[in-house]
Chain A
Amino acid sequence: MVTMPKPDAAVLARREAIVKALRAIVPGEGVIASEREMKPYESDGLTAYRQMPMVVVLPSTTGQVSAVLKYCHDNGIKVVPRGAGTSLSGGALPLGDGVLLGMAKFNRIHSIDYANRVAVVGPGVTNLAVSTAVAHAGFYYAPDPSSQIACTIGGNVAENSGGVHCLKYGMTTNNVLGCELVLINGEILRFGGKHLDSAGYDLLGIITGSEGLLGVVTEITVRLLKKPETARAVLVGFYSSEDAGECVSKIIGAGIIPGGMEMMDKPAIHAVEEFVHAGYPLDVEALLIVELDGPGAEVNHLIERIDRIAKQCRATSCKVSNSEEERLLFWAGRKAAFPAVGRISPDYYCMDGTIPRAKLPLVLARMREMSAKYELGVANVFHAGDGNLHPLILYDANKPGELERCEAFGAEILRLCVEVGGVLTGEHGVGVEKRDLMPVMFTEEDLKQQQRLKCAFDDKGLLNPGKVFPTLHRCAELGRMHVHHGQTAFPDLPRF
């Protein structure tokens, strides 16, 4: 288990005064200090980690956020921002001596501007609510993380959330145009707007995916896209993951970028089919769902090509959806993969690494070996188009030692992802979960440079400390210039 920074006894000793001061800023029920009422906030989607916050604050205006942050900055109090608490990496795990800043009350859609194809929304608006609000006009918001019913746009910005359609439509960072951000010192800034380009440094780009370590977003301008005319899905079975991987490569090699391309391995297929009866073939090692969207003429044309490619790659079955119901049924299985696995195992742990796609057979083979070594089952769902792997490790938290074994198994998978040229996390974030693995991917210099960026936003390190970075450095120490001796002369370089 990752250890969090030790609570500061001096801060805890002042708790009563702190709660009082916060109540003066956010009146009424906006400050929660009783143990019973704070309980729902003790963890996020990474439930293996739990910690009661010192106090929960639920502001409802940007002015309140600014005043709360300024108070915390002036008084050296840590702050953990939280959207809907669906993080799978512990990004919203509270701190015992910290304020948990819940943004749920910022749940208004401020404006929808179809002519410019944007919506301006509060960070507490759920991902799905944006698409729902514009559906009648034929528009939608493209990023669709599987938690989209619950997760908020603010949380999506913090985590740079993806979804099954990001191969074609991008992640959150490619679909937001502006934001209002409050710094820990209370300053309110605006980045971007309804225009496409940033005027100076792309600070919106750096906020997106910063896991709540740089500031608190209080308003977001998101891009809206017109819904494609039609969408159809193809379900393709293979006797080996190698064949399935080859099929994915050939589809992309043929110049086709599907709206979504998902793969499942045998354990995942069986768990899912038993649960939702989506009509998945059970005699295959790997199953692909390929979705094409666009005008009917285009979709039908590409589906024919995909059918040919699948056959070349020794597909054992190939089924094309012939109705919207059938397309949704194909997806129902994939979307229910996590709960389906939840039925066959008391607990499961969802990992999230990305690999170069060609390494899939190797990674799956190595995972099977690890599965034997750790004596824990594993089922795989995979955003095949972009190489984002979600191994689900099956364990039983009630059996002594299984959680620890499961975490070690997960860490070994992520190390393997980096070893084959991939990364530790594709869309769930580093948070607490992968924090101590960061040195597998980054050098000390890489991490220090990232932390210097943090210092530009949060000089005292009060925003979400203990997440993302395995070692906390003071900004003064990070800012010190290292003197490189022997660099005064410049003899080696040719001058022209």
Chain B
Amino acid sequence: MADPLKVRDARDVETAVRWAIAQSKTLEIVGRGSKRALGRPAQWDATLDLSALNGVTLYEPEELVLTAQAGTPLREIESLVDRSNQELAFEPMDYGPLLGMPHGRSSIGGAIVTNLSGPRRIKAGAARDHFLGFSGVSGRGETFKSGGRVVKNVTGYDLCKLMAGSWGTLAALTEITIKVLPRAETEMTLVVQGLVDAGAAKAMAAAMGSPCDVSGAAHLPARVAAQLLPGLGAGKAATVFRIEGVEPSVVHRARVLSELMKSYGALAMVEPQRSRHLWRAIRDVTPFGADGPVGTYPVWRISTAPTEGAELARLISEDIEAEFIFDWAGGLIWAVLAPSDDAGEAIVRAATTICGGHAMLVRAPAAIRAMVPVFAPEEGALAALTARVKHGFDPQGALNPGRMWAGI
């Protein structure tokens, strides 16, 4: 068991990292620990616990900006901005259900460095697109900052982008500033029933290519559809489209989209409250949840061009028993596979090689995650550049070494 170090403030983070450098120790950086089962399992000498860096230090709804210490629970931030009818538009998913962890445990820092997003990614972007500025401590034990508290800022390199999705391998972030946006007044979901994967991809492309401003486009297999939309066309796959906004606009766009979709299959409309529950379940991939029927099976998260999603899934199913949820109009595939020695790694990587995109193994026993690459492997000049970037921030490999790839 690694030695836990509980910091009290940002200053302590600097002290801790300097200590690790001087002692040639490695640190596991933990906000609230909700995603510790994600990524490569590695041995770290000590755990840097940032949960005491807690609290929103600035929230100005009319400026659309919020600053919080990195360990602040995401859920607290979400309920705070909700009181001003705002939200984090990037719709950060909760990995709790998939990983068998308590729900709603993520910190804002964890959400940012893993670049979380949700179904609204197709319209509003991911954490990276809402991340305005930060303070943090590099693997050199030096406190530095980047960005600011305004949306429009091109002063210096955009290090926020680099930190989002760096999984704590470049710096321990201590303070985070994000953009917040007004929450939609209402929403509705249009369901198209009974489409096969390839047909759903066409329907989703047509919807995304319409002026209906769809903020969620997903395709659910029959078993998942029966679970998430009980009483609605049982036994059939469901392709679902979310429309959000002010009431008259939602009504109008739902009508236009229905007209566009009626040639694809039978239609149904889901009212606001059920729609919200549906998209939360899609966001958190609860049908593949750890407490469900496929709860112990490996899960992959595959990002590809939307039109390639169906073919990619077909290639995987040729070689292994699998079930898929397609989000992002087909561009994000959650794949649950029958258990195997490599969690289906060879099959999944072969499919992404053919169809383009990349895959991350998000759920598998630690022993398998230690054995097969969890993140898409990098090679050649790209791998060398990644290593040089890491070295520039963390030359001794003190921060989360091995979390993404061996040696990073």
Contact = CB atoms under 8 A, between A and B. Distances in A.
Interface of A: 113-117, 138-139, 159-160, 162, 166-167, 170-171, 173-174, 183, 187-190, 193-206, 208-210, 226-229, 249-250, 252-257, 294-298, 301-302, 354-358, 383, 386-388, 421-430, 434, 438, 441-443, 445-447, 449-450, 452-457, 468, 479, 481-484, 487-490, 492-496
B395 A481 contact: yes
Contacts of A428: 154
A492 B12 contact: yes
28 contacts: A166-B151, A174-B129, A198-B165, A201-B386, A206-B157, A210-B157, A254-B182, A297-B248, A297-B252, A354-B148, A355-B150, A358-B60, A383-B152, A426-B150, A427-B154, A441-B156, A442-B156, A446-B156, A450-B146, A453-B157, A455-B388, A456-B392, A482-B142, A483-B22, A484-B18, A490-B15, A493-B12, A496-B4
Interface SS of chain A? loop
Given A117-B209, A253-B61, A196 B153 contact: no
B376 A117 contact: no
A438 B146 CA distance: 12
A471 to B, nearest CB: 13
A162 B151 CA distance: 11
Contact of B121 (A116, A196, A204): A196
B143 interface: yes
A423 B358 contact: no
Interface stretch (B92-100, B218-226, B303-311): B303-311
Interface in B131-171: 138, 140-146, 148-162, 164-166
B316 interface: no
B182 A256 contact: yes
A452 B303 contact: no
Contacts of B210: 226
Given A195-B304, A205-B162, A446-B144, A456 B391 contact: yes
B5 A493 contact: yes
Given A205-B162, A206-B157, A453 B248 contact: no
Contacts of B151: 166-167, 354, 386-387
Interface stretch (B191-199, B284-292, B334-342, B377-385): B377-385
B6 interface: yes
Nearest to B384: A187
List the 9 closest pairs (A to B, CB-CB), nearest first.
Answer: A205-B161, A298-B249, A255-B182, A194-B305, A452-B392, A456-B388, A199-B358, A426-B152, A487-B18
B182 A257 contact: yes
A117 B208 contact: yes
A232 to B, nearest CB: 14
A119 to B, nearest CB: 13
Contact of B395 (A117, A422, A479): A479
B41 interface: no
Given A115-B307, A386-B151, A423-B155, A493 B16 contact: yes
Contacts of A204: 161
B263 interface: no
Nearest to B358: A199
Nearest to B156: A450
Given A195-B305, A358-B63, A202 B115 contact: yes
Interface string B82-100: 0001100000000000000
Contacts of B86: 255
Nearest to B14: A484
B156 A294 contact: no
A203 B8 CA distance: 32
B161 A446 contact: no
Contact of B125 (A174, A434, A445): A174
Contact of B183 (A200, A255, A357, A457): A255
A134 to B, nearest CB: 11
A195 B6 CA distance: 38
Contacts of B19: 487-490
Contact of A201 (B148, B166, B308): B166
B5 A453 contact: no
Given A174-B125, A206-B162, A226-B209, A295 B385 contact: no
B185 interface: yes
B230 interface: no
B276 to A, nearest CB: 17
A139 B129 CA distance: 22
Interface string B210-252: 1101000000000000000000000000000000011011011
A196 B331 contact: yes
A189 B385 contact: yes
B4 to A, nearest CB: 5
Contacts of B367: none
Nearest to A177: B305
B307 A116 contact: yes
B178 interface: no
Nearest to B392: A452
B385 A226 contact: no
B40 interface: no
Given A194-B305, A296-B252, 15 more contacts: A166-B151, A170-B129, A171-B152, A173-B161, A194-B304, A195-B304, A200-B405, A201-B162, A229-B211, A253-B62, A298-B245, A453-B393, A456-B385, A482-B142, A495-B5
Interface in B247-267: 248-249, 251-253, 256
Contacts of A493: 5-8, 12, 15-16
A138 B211 CA distance: 9
B3 interface: yes
Contacts of A252: 62, 64, 182
B77 interface: no
B35 interface: no
B386 A197 contact: no
A340 B381 CA distance: 49
Contacts of A183: 381, 385
Contacts of A481: 21, 140, 395-396
Interface string B391-408: 111011000000011000
Contacts of B44: none
B70 interface: no
Contacts of A494: 6, 8
A422 B132 CA distance: 12
B46 to A, nearest CB: 9
Interface in B1-46: 3-8, 12, 15-16, 18-19, 21-23
Given A295-B252, A487-B19, A249 B148 contact: no
B393 A490 contact: no
Contacts of A423: 148, 150, 153, 155
A190 B306 CA distance: 19
A295 B138 contact: no
B16 A490 contact: yes
Contacts of A454: 157
Interface in B55-108: 60-65, 85-86
A386 B358 CA distance: 34
Contacts of A427: 152, 154
A66 to B, nearest CB: 11
Contacts of B381: 183, 187-189
A253 B307 CA distance: 38
A210 B376 CA distance: 26
A242 to B, nearest CB: 14
A456 B392 CA distance: 7
A193 B378 CA distance: 15
A441 B22 CA distance: 30
A355 B155 CA distance: 13
Contacts of A113: 307
A206 B144 contact: no
Nearest to A305: B246
A441 B155 contact: yes
B312 to A, nearest CB: 11
A120 to B, nearest CB: 12
B385 A203 contact: yes
Contacts of A160: 154, 158
Given A206-B157, A228-B211, A257-B182, A201 B389 contact: yes
